[in-house]
Each structure stands twice: as structure tokens, then as C-alpha cells.
């Protein structure tokens, strides 16, 4: 910075200041719209919301901020929690991973929030993890992820790989007799770990290494011509082929457009995606995508009383009849209700008491059952497989008969096959090796 000073004139700084002020102003307007019912008697319980409202991830995370505000408002209408009103503290980490850690620190030590709901990408979670462990905070993480993690301070309400990826692959093997697999993903930790697990799983199921093609693309890839045509080529080897896509957010739209244009239909080469939900499809003409699949634990089209009520409230809250709901929203719905129950059970918002009280808590999910919080800080979920419909919704074609318990450490990866996480006394360990009987990481006295 010292080097820049002589070059920067006072005037230039002024202009920069104007720009910065404008950005800040926009941020303030956003924050001001959040309900802050601080005038309630007897103080408030603060709830942190750590979702990007600007930058690349804003497309997905803004919705989660909105759903949290709705849940908090509803809880306050019901009389709050422990006789106090809840107060949302919204911060914007701006899709900037180090900023996530800074904002998390601010939420816990300055705002003194009782719990934080936030993060989307795995890299943002990894960035805030040390902060939550150091300051003993509570984070509810609502997005499906790659597993291989089990922290005492994090509650994973999204799916672990065995609650999403593995059942999807099983479905394709059974229903479509798929023999050849393309594992296509964006180049970062979630797709890489998921594909590592899937590759091990497929090989275990007897798929030859020649029949697996793994392809990674950079974030925001927009030119898919080559990759789609190589998938087409890979699929012309006389065996039924499917694509397992861990392609992230924004890159999906051009990917699906290219599939449609090159005439790859779901009946030829089905694509099953783990990051494509109703929200992502909102910007696509879905007619050419008819029949491509997605695996989630919730779809907006789930036909239950609870879901209909949730959708109605959501549309009323956002005052937009076109807003869709999606899987991470349901995860926040479950996570928030679990936290409320946990706090009520503990009778306090003290993190240690709440963390212990949360294990075993069970609340209704939106697909007609109950989800329970297991000792490994993951929740039980049904796995649904849906086919894309022309209206951008999913037609549910398969549902696991019961709820699936998360495997936080994958049994298909050599390094982790003997590990379990159990945060109940007396074990209290995030990575306990059952072979050697030792706690390898995440021990908390």
C-alpha cells in the first residue's frame, strides 16, 4: 500500500471513496430490510445469518438468507424462544472465502449470536470451521457436501454422499442398466471428493476403469462444446452411459443448453446432477432437458401437507408467487427447528449445553417424515430422485423406502473406512478409529 500512495492522487481517492460508499450504501439498505425486533422485552436471542448476498454465490445464498428471516419471523409470532424474541444478524461475506472467517468471528465475538446458519460452498465452510471451533460457536450448514468431516461445532443438515450420490448411482444402475459413467464436475473440493468416493464405489460394483471418465472444468465454465461432444463420443461404445454431474451453480445453464443443442436426450445419455435444483433451473428453458435427473432430499413438487403449507408461507413472505423452494431451504427449515427444540431442551443458549441437547432431537421434514439429529451431527433424510419436467419442476421417480443415516466418513475410501464420529459422552470424538480404538482428530474434553 505504501508504494501506491505517491501515485494515488487525492482526487482519485475521492472517486474511489464515492464508489466504496455506494457499495456500502447498498449493503446498508440490505441489512436494514432485515427485521430487528430488538425492542422486545427481556432482551433478544441473536441468530447469525452468514450467507453471501453479493458475488458469484449470491444467486444461491440470497434465498437462504430470506428463508432464515422467514423462519425467525414465524418463531417470533409463535412467541419467540425461552420467552425472548429472536433477532437476525445478517452479514454479507460477499462470496469471498477469507471474509467468511472474518464475518464468522464478528458474529460470535462481537454480536454474540447463539447460533449461526450459513455457508454454501465447502471452501467457505472449511474457512469458517477453525473460527467456530476456536470460539465454540454453533454452525448449521444446509448444503449437500462431500462428507469426510465431523466437527463438534457444526451441524450438517445437508446430505452426505451416501444420502445423495450413492443412491442416485444405484438408481441408474438398476433402472437404466447404466454400464459406463462420466463423472463431470467443477474443479474444487466437493466434486473431487465426491468423485473419489463414487469412483471407489463404482469399481467395487465391478465397473471397469475404462468405463469411467472423469472430467473437471473451471468455475463458471461457459463453453461446453468440446466436453459435451466428448461425452457423446464416450457414450458411443455400445454400453448404456450416464453422466454424474457435480457441476456447480452457474456453469450448469450453459452445460444443459449445450446438451440440448447437441441433441443428447435423457433417454440416450441421462445426466444426474447433485447441484441442480429448482432455483438453478429458473434461468433455463427446460423443454430440451426433459427427463434429466437430480438427486436431492427434497423437491418443491413433494406432495405433502407440510410442504404445501411451507410453499404458501414462502410465497406470502417473499410476496412473489414465482419464487421456488429447494433442498437447502428445507435443510435450514429442519436445522432451525432442531435448534429451537435443542435450546428449549437445554433451557439455555449456552453452546455446550445446546450442542449436547441437540443430539437425538427429531423434527418433521417437508417430505412427510421426521428427521433426527444423529450423534455424528448429521441428520437422517429420505433420498429422492426426480426427473426434470418442462415447467422446471421435478417429477419424483424414486424415493428410498426409509430414512437414510449419513455416513460422515466414507466407507469406500481407504483412509476413512474405519472412522466414525460420535459426539455423545463418553466417546466425544469426531473421527474415532474403530480398528485401533483411538480418536484421531477433533477430540474435545
Partner 1 sequence: MHRIIALLFLIILVLPASRSHADTTDDAYDELSASALAISPSSFDSVRQGVEQLAVSGDPRAAVVIGALHDGMLFARDDHLLFIQQPDGSYADARTGVPAKDVTDDDVKSVRVNNAVRSAIDAALGSLQLFAPDAPTRLQAASAVFTSHDPAALPALDKALAKETNPEVKRRMEQAKAAALLSAPDVSQADRLAAVATLRARGDQDSRSLLSALAGQTGPVADAASAAVVSIDHVLQIWSLAQSVYYGVSLGSVLLLAAAGLAITFGVMGVINMAHGEMVMIGAYVTFVVQQLMHAYLPSLYGISLLIAVPMAFLVSGGVGVVVERSLIRWLYGRPLETLLATWGLSLVLQQVVRSLFGANNQQVDTPGWMSGAYQLGGLTLTWNRMYIILFAFLVVAALMAALRYTPLGLRMRAVTQNRRMAAAMGIRTPWIDALTFGLGSGIAGIAGVALSQIDNVSPNLGQGYIIDSFMVVVFGGVGNLWGTTLGALTLGIVNKFLEPIAGAVLAKIVVLVLLILFVQRRPRGMFPLKGRAVEA
DSSP bridge partners of 217: 186
Q: Which stretch binds partner 1 (CB under 8 A): 305-313, 338-346, 352-360, 390-398?
A: 390-398
Residue 38 is a binding residue for partner 1 (CB under 8 A): no
Among 225, 312, 402, 434, binds partner 1 (CB under 8 A): 225
Backbone angles phi, psi at 340, to 5 degrees: -60, -45
Q: Which stretch binds partner 1 (CB under 8 A): 15-23, 97-105, 144-152, 160-168?
A: 15-23
- Mapped onto helix, strand or coil, the DSSP state of residue 419 is strand
Residue 199 vs 387, nearer CB to partner 1: 387
Residue 217 is a binding residue for partner 1 (CB under 8 A): yes
Closest CA to 334 of 270, 286, 382, 290: 382
Among 69, 70, 266, 338, binds partner 1 (CB under 8 A): 266
Taking the C-alpha atoms of residue 280 and residue 142, their distance in angstroms, rounded to an integer, is 16
Q: Which stretch binds partner 1 (CB under 8 A): 80-88, 336-344, 349-357, 389-397?
A: 389-397
Q: Are 67 and 329 in contact (CB under 8 A)?
A: yes
Q: Which stretch binds partner 1 (CB under 8 A): 80-88, 123-131, 258-266, 349-357?
A: 258-266
Please give the residues from 95 up to 114 whose contact with partner 1 meets the rule CB under 8 A.
none
For partner 1, how many residues bind (rule: CB under 8 A)?
72
Element (H, E) at 199: helix 189-204
Residue 4 is a binding residue for partner 1 (CB under 8 A): yes
Angle at 92 between CA 14 and CA 56, to 5 degrees: 90
Among 99, 200, 282, 427, binds partner 1 (CB under 8 A): 282
Residue 229 is a binding residue for partner 1 (CB under 8 A): yes
Residue 8 is a binding residue for partner 1 (CB under 8 A): yes
Residue 348 vs 389, nearer CB to partner 1: 389
Query: Shortest distance, CB of residue 179 to partner 1, whole angstroms?
Result: 10
Q: Cell numbers 444405484 label which residue?
A: 170
Residue 268 is a binding residue for partner 1 (CB under 8 A): yes
Residue 216 vs 350, nearer CB to partner 1: 216
Query: Shortest distance, CB of residue 199 to partner 1, whole angstroms?
Result: 16
Residue 254 is a binding residue for partner 1 (CB under 8 A): yes
Residue 257 is a binding residue for partner 1 (CB under 8 A): yes
DSSP bridge partners of 429: 422
Q: Which stretch binds partner 1 (CB under 8 A): 193-201, 372-380, 394-402, 415-423?
A: 394-402
Taking the C-alpha atoms of residue 140 and residue 155, their distance in angstroms, rounded to an integer, is 5
241-246 and 271-273 strand pairing = parallel
Helix axes 189-204, 165-175, angle to 10 degrees: 40
Residue 54 exposed, middle or buried by CB count within 10 Å (0-12, 13-18, 19+): middle
Contacts with partner 1, 50-69, as mask; x by CB under 8 A: ---xxxx-xx--x-------
180-186 and 241-246 strand pairing = parallel
Q: Are 334 and 157 in contact (CB under 8 A)?
A: yes
Angle at 433 between CA 427 and CA 439, to 5 degrees: 50
CB atoms within 10 A of CB 29: 9
Residue 26 is a binding residue for partner 1 (CB under 8 A): yes
Residue 79 is a binding residue for partner 1 (CB under 8 A): no
Query: Shortest distance, CB of residue 41 to partner 1, whole angstroms?
Result: 35
C-alpha cell of residue 340: 429451537
Residue 331 exposed, middle or buried by CB count within 10 Å (0-12, 13-18, 19+): buried
Among 112, 262, 316, 347, binds partner 1 (CB under 8 A): 262
Query: Shortest distance, CB of residue 257 to partner 1, whole angstroms?
Result: 7
DSSP bridge partners of 363: 371
Q: Are 313 and 78 in contact (CB under 8 A)?
A: no
DSSP assignment, residue 106?
I
Q: Are 326 and 418 in contact (CB under 8 A)?
A: no
Residue 179 vs 444, nearer CB to partner 1: 179
Cis peptide before 359 (omega within 30 of 0): no
Query: Shortest distance, CB of residue 89 to partner 1, whole angstroms?
Result: 20
Query: Shortest distance, CB of residue 148 to partner 1, whole angstroms?
Result: 22
Q: Which stretch binds partner 1 (CB under 8 A): 113-121, 148-156, 255-263, 434-442?
A: 255-263
Please give the residues from 289 up to 318 whose contact with partner 1 meets the rule CB under 8 A.
290-291, 293
Angle at 223 between CA 232 and CA 216, to 5 degrees: 70
Among 5, 11, 77, 415, binds partner 1 (CB under 8 A): 11
Residue 187 vs 352, nearer CB to partner 1: 187
Please give the residues from 160 up to 189 whose contact with partner 1 meets the rule CB under 8 A.
175-176, 187
Amino acid at each position: 500500500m505504501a508504494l501506491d500512495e505517491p501515485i494515488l492522487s487525492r482526487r482519485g481517492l475521492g472517486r474511489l471513496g464515492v464508489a466504496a460508499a455506494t457499495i456500502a450504501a447498498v449493503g446498508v439498505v440490505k441489512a436494514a430490510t432485515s427485521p430487528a425486533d430488538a425492542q422486545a422485552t427481556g432482551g433478544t436471542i441473536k441468530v447469525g445469518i452468514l450467507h453471501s448476498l453479493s458475488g458469484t454465490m449470491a444467486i444461491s445464498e440470497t434465498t437462504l438468507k430470506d428463508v432464515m428471516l422467514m423462519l425467525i419471523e414465524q418463531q417470533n409470532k409463535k412467541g419467540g424462544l425461552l420467552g425472548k424474541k429472536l433477532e437476525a444478524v445478517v452479514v454479507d461475506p460477499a462470496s469471498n472465502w477469507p471474509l467468511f472467517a472474518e464475518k464468522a468471528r464478528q458474529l460470535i465475538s462481537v454480536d454474540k449470536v447463539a447460533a449461526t446458519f450459513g455457508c454454501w460452498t465447502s471452501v467457505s465452510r472449511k474457512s469458517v470451521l477453525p473460527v467456530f471451533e476456536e470460539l465454540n460457536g454453533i454452525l448449521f450448514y444446509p448444503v449437500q457436501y462431500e462428507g469426510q468431516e465431523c466437527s463438534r461445532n457444526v451441524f450438517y443438515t445437508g446430505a452426505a454422499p451416501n444420502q445423495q450420490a450413492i443412491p442416485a448411482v444405484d438408481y441408474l444402475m438398476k433402472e437404466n442398466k447404466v454400464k459406463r459413467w462420466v463423472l463431470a464436475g467443477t474443479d474444487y473440493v466437493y466434486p473431487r471428493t465426491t468423485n473419489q468416493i463414487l469412483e471407489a464405489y463404482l469399481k467395487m460394483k465391478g465397473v471397469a476403469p475404462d468405463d469411467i471418465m472423469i472430467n473437471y472444468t473451471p468455475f463458471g465454465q461457459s463453453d461446453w462444446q468440446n466436453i459435451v461432444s466428448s461425452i457423446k463420443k464416450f457414450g458411443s461404445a455400445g454400453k448404456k452411459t450416464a453422466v454424474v454431474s457435480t457441476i456447480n451453480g452457474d456453469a450448469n445453464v450453459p452445460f444443459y443448453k449445450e446438451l440440448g443443442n447437441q441433441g443428447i436426450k435423457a433417454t440416450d445419455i441421462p445426466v444426474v446432477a447433485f447441484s441442480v435444483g429448482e432455483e438453478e433451473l429458473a434461468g433455463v428453458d427446460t423443454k430440451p432437458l426433459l427427463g434429466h435427473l437430480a438427486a436431492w432430499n427434497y423437491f418443491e413438487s413433494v406432495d405433502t401437507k407440510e410442504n404445501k403449507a411451507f410453499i404458501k408461507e414462502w410465497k406470502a413472505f417473499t410476496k412473489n408467487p414465482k419464487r421456488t423452494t429447494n433442498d437447502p431451504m428445507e435443510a435450514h427449515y429442519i436445522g432451525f427447528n432442531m435448534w429451537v427444540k435443542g435450546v428449549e431442551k437445554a433451557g439455555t443458549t449456552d453452546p455446550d449445553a445446546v450442542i449436547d441437547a441437540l443430539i437425538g432431537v427429531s423434527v418433521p421434514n417437508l417430505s412427510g417424515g421426521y428427521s433426527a439429529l444423529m450423534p455424528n451431527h448429521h441428520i437422517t433424510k429420505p433420498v429422492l430422485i426426480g426427473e426434470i419436467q418442462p415447467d422446471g419442476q421435478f417429477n419424483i421417480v424414486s424415493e428410498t423406502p426409509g430414512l437414510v443415516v449419513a455416513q460422515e466418513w466414507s466407507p469406500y475410501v481407504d483412509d476413512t473406512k474405519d472412522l466414525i464420529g460420535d459426539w455423545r459422552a463418553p466417546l466425544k470424538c469426531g473421527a474415532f478409529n474403530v480398528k485401533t480404538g483411538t480418536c484421531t482428530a477433533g477430540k474435545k474434553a
